[in-house]
Amino acid sequence: MLYIRNESNNPYFNLAFEEYLFNLDDNENYFLLWQNEPTIVVGKHQNTAQEINSDYVKEKGIHVVRRITGGGAVYHDLGNINYSFIIKNMKKADYDFSKFTIPIIKALKKFGVESELSGRNDITIDGKKFSGNAQVVKNSKLLHHGTLLFDSKMDELTKALNVSEDKFTSKGVKSVRARVTNIKDYMSEDITVSEFKEMLLKFMFDEDKELKEGTLCQKDYDEINSLMENKYLTWEWNYGKSPEFNVKQSKRFPSGKIETLANVKDGIIQDIKFYGDFFGNGNLEDIQSLLRGVRYEESHIRNALKDINIDDYFKNISLDEVVSCIL
């Protein structure tokens, strides 16, 4: 496995950097540690405008960028560390969050910090979240990445994100602030985020003799910058256009929330868009195109979707549950 050092704090560059390595047709596995300036990173399937406090984001100059994995919106700043695993030749049975979060838990234990897995993709200390994780798989190659709140500004996090009330209800708590914490609050030793980053790398791989530090060439950086310019800096990628709609449905399941916006005229679906913090590797446009022109009726919707594997698009969410979010 190669560790590629990336000292950039530019979120648009950093997400392009990560995707570039994910898309490389090579024989390497990669590990990354990286940090962003104050940024909201929204999940691949989310409606950006609904996830952020736009007035506050504009006032504070907080970046907004979309990632290529599902899940919910997260806040990054220089008190947060992001980590990424890019692993080739993965089998479906290996698409397990714990394979990548347990090394974090073990490393934190060496700092004297006890943590545990929680729910589908979180790591917590004393029931409070400090790490959210997401994955995407393409051509048997897996990208797993997560956040590590070490010394983040919690007030900024709370004000910048526009978290829906149903997420509070499903978690049984009353505020974002009550659900999140910083790792530093549980450390016995007062260290900086930079020191934590270097020690984390050592603790995670102290038994792995295969980890080596690698470098990229100028051609790689040219490709990364091109990807940043043509994708991650564009309004179309980060915000996109929501369709006009007259039917809106929203439901939360154990594996994530699905929201649909549909334009229905004379009983026929003219346009439809899926949003949410669910996971899935398929292109949602496949499903959306199948539903355009279909009668807005359960049997017709089911018939339109009968030949697809719904789990590819909405992981661990059934066809019945998806249909219930449309009607």
Q: Which domains does the chain have, with CATH numbers?
A: 2-238 (3.30.930.10), 247-324 (3.30.390.50)
Distance separating alpha carbons of residues 67 and 180, to the nearest angstrom: 21
C-alpha 273: how far from its chain's center?
Answer: 19
Residues 6+ apart with CB under 8 A from 86: 18, 21, 22, 29, 30, 31, 32, 141, 142, 143
Predicted TM-score (pTM) of this structure: 0.84
Q: In a structure prediction context, what are the per-residue pLDDT tens digits for the chain, which is 327 residues long?
A: 899 999 999 999 999 999 999 999 998 999 999 999 999 999 999 989 888 998 999 999 999 999 999 998 999 999 999 999 999 987 765 568 888 999 899 999 999 999 999 887 899 999 999 999 999 998 889 999 999 999 999 999 889 988 665 554 444 444 454 588 999 999 998 999 999 999 998 888 876 667 899 999 999 999 999 999 999 999 999 998 777 888 899 999 988 999 999 999 988 999 999 999 999 989 999 999 999 999 998 999 999 999 999 999 999 999 999 999 998
C-alpha 17: how far from its chain's center?
Answer: 16
- The per-residue DSSP string of 79-137 comes to TEEEEEEEESS--GGG--THHHHHHHHHHHHHTT---EEETTTEEEETTEEEEEEEEEE
